[in-house]
Amino acid sequence: MTSLQLAGFSASILIGVSLGLIGGGGSILTLPVLVYLLGFNPVVSTTYSLFVVGTTSLVGSLNYIRQRQVNYKAAILFSVPSFGAVYLTRHYLIPAIPDPVFITDTFVLSKNIAIMIFFASVMLVASVSMIRDKKMPDQLSAAPFRFNLPMIAFDGILVGLLTGIVGAGGGFLIIPALVLLVRLPMKMAVGTSLLIIAANALIGFWESTANLLIDWPFLLKFTSFSVFGILLGTYLSRFVPGQKLKKTFGWFVLVMGVYIISREVFL
């Protein structure tokens, strides 16, 4: 195993740990790990990322299910429009993106570079969300559940597009929506978010496998490291203040986003 491969598999553990500790964020690292450390092209990497993120989130959600910290009605209402967006994105939008996307006499924007730049932009938005450390109002936790269906549907579609294009779970969008639009307590929002992410990502992966040869030995090995990470992260969440870690992780994601844009545009 080369040093880059070792770094890639080690990073897969950190992806899972982040999901276990703060309920999101870690999945956004899967694509750059697969592309820059393990050498897969971005289109294949988005598909692999869907499987890694989906399987890891599903395992993570089981602990919340056992604790009755998953709101199934909210998960279904959020997931239905999100499923549709994931399916349409993977089935129609991704294949329809031309390669090159844009070309002039002096500049060529390939499909792979366009995907990475879009992904890095998502990373920047996610990092700002985590760094701002916006606290959810405590009184929402004690309020009765409510379901703002139009806004839930809109957020679900947005997350589905994000999941379909870049293979990220979108927890940074799902958790605030569940707290503010459904009035779920934070812990229940995290558990419900993991279940939604799992369903979205695995459906997106299934839709993407028709014309792609999957390296199952690699994918299962990489995913097993990430699953170990989320189990470790769930355990560590009892001792580590997740909110402080979330802010630190946000700065890391910001640096990564800037690095990816710089690398793809200038190198």
DSSP reduced 3-state for 103: strand
Q: What is the pLDDT of residue 141?
A: 47
- Domain definitions of the chain by residue range: 3-266
Please state the pTM of the whole predicted model.
Answer: 0.81
Helical axes 42-66 vs 3-22, angle rounded to 10°: 40
Q: What is the pLDDT of residue 5?
A: 85
Q: What is the pLDDT of residue 220?
A: 95
pLDDT less than 50: residues of the chain? 138-141
What region does 214 belong to: left with phi over 0, alpha with psi -120 to 50, or beta? beta
Q: Over the stretch 160-199, which tens digit does the pLDDT of each residue have? A: 888 888 777 677 778 878 887 788 887 888 889 889 888 8
Q: What is the pLDDT of residue 146?
A: 67
Rounded Cα–Cα distance for residues 267 and 262 (Å)? 7
C-beta atoms surrounding 248 within 10 Å: 11
